[in-house]
Amino acid sequence: MREVIFDTETTGLDPKTGDRMVEIGCIEMVGRVETGRTFHAYFNPDRDMPAEAERVHGLSIAFLSAKPRFAEVADELLEFLGDSNLVAHNAGFDFGFLNNELELAGRTPIAMDRMVDTVAIARKRHPGAKLSLDALCTRYGIDRSHRVKHGALLDAELLAQVYVELTGGRQIGLSLIASGADAAPGAGADSPALTQFTPNAPWHRPSADKPRREPRPHVASPEELERHAAFIADIKGAIWTS
């Protein structure tokens, strides 16, 4: 199943009052796995940029004035979106701005039944918890240290990881591929075989200050067998002797 995770940046909060979309970032996923295909564009909004909006995303009119208008790239964007479901965080906001731009450009708005809202999903999974993208990244251990300001493509990349966790999840930091000396014979770096389940979480890593011990063979020694036989013989009224 193909899905597109997307995010927008805007001049404000309401397209009905004249606010415009100035950036869109899209990530393609198939089967909840990122394919590497993306779509990203900035737009000249043909209006001013309120200071409070610029503080959020850092996009100035001086920067955006040299960018194309939405109508100039609308067809390219629609081709990328195709007929896939569109996933966004607080999706009603992003759909409102995207459809407003499509209408202004003389294109057909995207049907709302294609909308997938990760806020609604998160609210069901974590009732009463904080549902911002930052909060969900923290909950799922997703690194957002490079997110200094909002950016449509960066936020879409983070949301793609959050979406996977919200819809089933994958354990971040786990690897199924053995490497180096731990790999089985014939299972090199290019081998498709999954030879070892190797957790990389800190509590599974061998400590550097402790020697590595070889696994103990699960076979009793002759001395242990002798002691066991003496112990069994000393049991009075054992059911296996009656």
Contact 35, 28 (CB under 8 A): yes
Residues 6+ apart with CB under 8 A from 6: 24, 25, 26, 27, 86, 87, 88, 94, 98, 152, 156
- Is residue 76 within a helix (H) or strand (E), and if so which, with residue range? helix 70-81
DSSP 118-148: HHHHHHHHSTTS--SHHHHHHHTT---TT-S
DSSP 167-185: TT---TTEE----GGGSPT
Q: Look up 40 and say whether it is catalytic.
A: no
Q: How far is CA 66 from the centre of its chain?
A: 32
Tokens of 113: 């039944």
* SS3 state of residue 103: helix
AA identity, residue 113: D
Residues 6+ apart with CB under 8 A from 65: 44
Single out the catalytic residue among 89, 146, 150, 204: 150
- Is residue 19 within a helix (H) or strand (E), and if so which, with residue range? none
AA identity, residue 1: M
Active-site amino acid positions: 150
